[in-house]
Amino acid sequence: MKIARQNNTLLASTLILLLGIVYAVTAVAQDQSGPSVSDNVQDLKQRVIELNRDLFILEEELLFPANTQVAVFLSMDVGEFFQLDAVNLKIDGKEVSNYLYTEKQVDALFRGGIQRLHIGNVRSGEHEITAFFTGRGPQGRDYRRAVSHTFTKGGDIKYLELQIRDSIQLHQPALTVKEWQ
């Protein structure tokens, strides 16, 4: 949180500095012949956009360093046994994501889409992820199931995928957690 405030302060200071430069260049350009003011302003706008992009990348690296980052995704291969309504995600008992789905979003997941549910930081070591799925199950009944998985966080980014699939043998959805390598 402290890093985010420092980052925001750095971003604000940089933008104020750039606006001052734009003002100074505009004043100088009015006094000299050469490139028009419009050309100078457009050049400075482009530089501000590039600097903003670089600051965004730096902020992402500071807030989510690779050695502590964990990302959780959701995929579905479901047909007749489950209609998803919501997902509640917890890591080490702390709620990190709670998502309600529209029909269009569920349809996109049915067609092969993958949703990023959470990206955050955890220390190295063992952690437990728990996902609660709410929706309509077989015969249109309300359905709530959970899946838990223990994973070990090392020095690299950890990617986890929550998978919802039809289990034809059991006539209900199968919920699993897959670790990406």
Give the pLDDT confidence of 116-161 residue by residue, as tens digits.
Answer: 999 988 988 999 999 999 998 777 788 898 999 999 988 888 999 9
With CA atoms as reference, report the closest residue to 123 among 102, 94, 93, 154: 154
For residues 81 and 12, state if they share a domain.
no
For residues 104 and 151, state if they share a domain.
yes
Q: Residue 123 is part of which domain span? A: 69-180
For residues 39 and 105, state if they share a domain.
no
For residues 41 and 117, state if they share a domain.
no
* Three-state SS at 113: coil
For residues 83 and 54, state if they share a domain.
no
For residue 5, which phi and psi values (nearest 5 degrees)?
-65, -40
Q: CA-CA distance, 167 to 171, in Å (whole number)?
A: 6
pTM: 0.63
Work out how many domains the chain is built from and give that number. Answer: 2
Q: CA-CA distance, 181 to 177, in Å (whole number)?
A: 13
Query: What's the mean per-residue pLDDT of the chain?
Result: 82
- For the chain, helix, strand, coil in percent to 5 are 40, 40, 20
For residues 54 and 96, state if they share a domain.
no
Task: Report whether 169 contacts 158 (CB < 8 A).
Answer: no
How would you label 75-88 residue by residue, b for 16+ Cβ within 10 Å and e otherwise?
Answer: bbebeebbbbbebb
For residues 7 and 57, state if they share a domain.
yes
Angle at the Cα of 109 from the Cα atoms of 180 and 67, rounded to 5 degrees: 30
Q: CA-CA distance, 174 to 169, in Å (whole number)?
A: 10
Which contacts of 138-141 are long-range, i.e. CB under 8 A and separated by 24 or more positions?
138/80, 138/81, 138/171, 138/172
For residues 120 and 45, state if they share a domain.
no
CATH number (domain holding residue 166): 2.60.40
pLDDT tens-digit readout, 45-66: 898 888 888 888 787 777 766 6
For residues 81 and 54, state if they share a domain.
no
For residues 25 and 114, state if they share a domain.
no
For residues 30 and 76, state if they share a domain.
no
